Amino acid sequence: MKRFIKEKGLAFFLIAAVLLWLKTYAAYVIEFNLGINNTVQQILLFVNPVSSSLFFLGIGLLFKKKIQQTAIIVIHFLMSFLLYANIVYYRFFSDFITLPTIMQAKTNGGQLGDSALSLINPLDIFYFIDTIILIAVAIFYNRPTETTTKRPFKIVMGASILVFLANLAVAEIDRPELLTRSFDRNYLVKYLGAYNFTIYDAVQNIKTNSQRALASSSDVTEVENYIKANHDKPNAKYFGKAKGKNVIYISLESLQTFAIDYKLNGKEVTPFLNSLAHDDHTFYFDNFFHQTGQGKTSDAEFMMDNSLYPLSQGSVFINKAQNTLQSAPAILKSQGYTSAAFHGNYKTFWNRNEMYKAIGYDKFFDATYYDMSEGKTKNYGLKDKPFFEESMPLLKSLKQPFYTKFITLSNHFPFEMDEGDTDFPAGETGDSVVDHYFQSANYMDQSLEQFFNDLKKAGLYDTTIIVMYGDHYGISENHNDAMAKVIGKEVTPYENAKLQRVPLFIHVPGVKGEKSDKYGGDVDVMPTLLHLMGVNTKDYLMSGSDLLSPEHREVIPFRNGDFVSPKFMKANGNYYDMGTGKLLEEKSVDPNVEESVKKELEMSDKIVDGDLLRFYKPKGFKAINPSDYDYTNHHPKTSESHTTSPKNSDSE
């Protein structure tokens, strides 16, 4: 064997393969929370980088003597870079990079800043030391003997395939139907590895893109039958009570439910929102869960406007802007509604300038309508207070009734505040992200109170439904130690799932509200709102369930296939009693619940991936033509010196 390695020039290759293997395993253990539950999974985690290391580095053996080592070093570096990119991404999103997220980065190019930089640690040089070692070996030691045949390449490729198939076979035993059942990228990385996941992701992405081309009108039938069979009848007590009212949606950036009624050193973090949670004319839902995927804020927007689930990979706003949609702005347009979106960032971010046309927004007030001078912007765009203040004249200029949404930005990771923006104290957990969160949330709360007061002065408050929702989590699992101090208990997978609750407020003028403990999610808001406005949703293809209906469905799917319900929940593949948090055996959980979750996601995916709404024509609905919309601001407010993008990204 030693002679074969020496003669065939495989020594350098094997050094590179072993270094990449061990580094990848170290990253798995140090950086990722993959939920290793047994010895088999631990062994698979250790072994799964082997096949990828052999396969990809083996490609370098095809190169001739003069550049063989250079080729191996380049491949090794590219794989190290992919691993490190996943590490940085995972530190905030607790997820892995997919091809659609790379496309999102391209679309949102130039706006990645503090959010990414704050996740980089000087010790991360560790993930590139082995590449440096390889370069040193190549410089100071003789190059390998030139191979005269492709036999070493064939042997290495064969070995990599055998290792992968053995890995997959054992993984299938521990997790049957791994590649077909799993919505969760954690599972795929745990069992198959980060590099093999990238290949799987590429295949899935090609498959998804082909689904639209292959879809036909006959595919709508199954979806239509399923959705109509599960339609919730509106609550007669509330149906039509807000007919003809204006609508304002406010996306509460990164606000989680734990902040509501929370006190820090005796001071309420969100006193204004707390007052609304106990207001007689506001419906407040404290068991409301965000259902976003990799599209974060844009996913939440998509669900609010369309009552369909986002993609399992990437953002609908980036990848499906060409789809035909039957959104709330489009439905209300036939009733004389004007629609507009307000956002203190530039219109190309998250591809909003294209997606809003597909949704049917008449106007889009982006950063060019606001004063983006230094001091008024923070990380991701305009600060919330000047954003709402400068939005009021634009809002008042709209023809009523209107359907509008406001996307706030200030309460965003890493949550640091500029001096003078708030005098609220920071937390004392020792984690700067969590500690600054309380200050940032308080600043947003102040801006909302200011906006409500301005609506009252403008005479709009009593004629407008105001819907406010937390768009997604703000504090990731990487800060669980600090969050344990905040909530006063260990953040187990069960507690972490409960932390995915975000507040939902629906203020309806003239209608008595209440605090509700019903379980709900993002897709449920649109049918709830339309029923309040007297629009029956039975003829539309929506995934959501009216939160005010007596028939409301309280099983809430997450994009990765997990779910919550009043009785039990699924988190990271395990089942828990929702009341006690006790771990349950799978056999004790009603299998129909899991099947219904899978079916809900599947039906929505058919609509979105196949663009099926182009084949579906509800009675009285006029389809949107995106070419009818133009969001060009011919009189931008910003001066020449202030027309550059905000410093950093709204990773949203």
Q: Which residues are catalytic?
A: 297
Rounded-to-integer distance, Cα 555 and Cα 608, Å:
21
Query: Are the C-beta atoms of residues 345 and 367 closer than 8 Å to each other?
Result: yes
Q: What is the CA radius of gyration of the chain?
A: 26
Cis omega (within 30 of 0) for bond into 393: no
Closest alpha carbon to 651 in 281, 216, 298: 298
Pairing of strands 583-584, 363-365: unpaired
Query: Are the C-beta atoms of residues 112 and 648 closer than 8 Å to each other?
Result: yes
CA dihedral 70, 76, 81, 84 (to 10 degrees): -150
Rounded-to-integer distance, Cα 230 and Cα 211, Å:
25
Closest alpha carbon to 127 in 90, 157, 155: 90
Pairing of strands 556-557, 515-521: unpaired
Q: State in Å, rounded, how far the first CA of the chain is from the last one.
A: 53
Rounded-to-integer distance, Cα 196 and Cα 185, Å:
11
- 523, exposed or middle or buried, with CB in 10 Å at 0-12, 13-18, 19+? buried
33: tokens are 């929370």
SS3 560: coil
Rounded-to-integer distance, Cα 590 and Cα 479, Å:
33
Is the alpha carbon torsion for 379, 390, 419, 436 positive or negative? negative
The gap from C-alpha 262 to its chain's centroid, in whole angstroms, comes to 25
Query: Are the C-beta atoms of residues 603 and 230 closer than 8 Å to each other?
Result: no
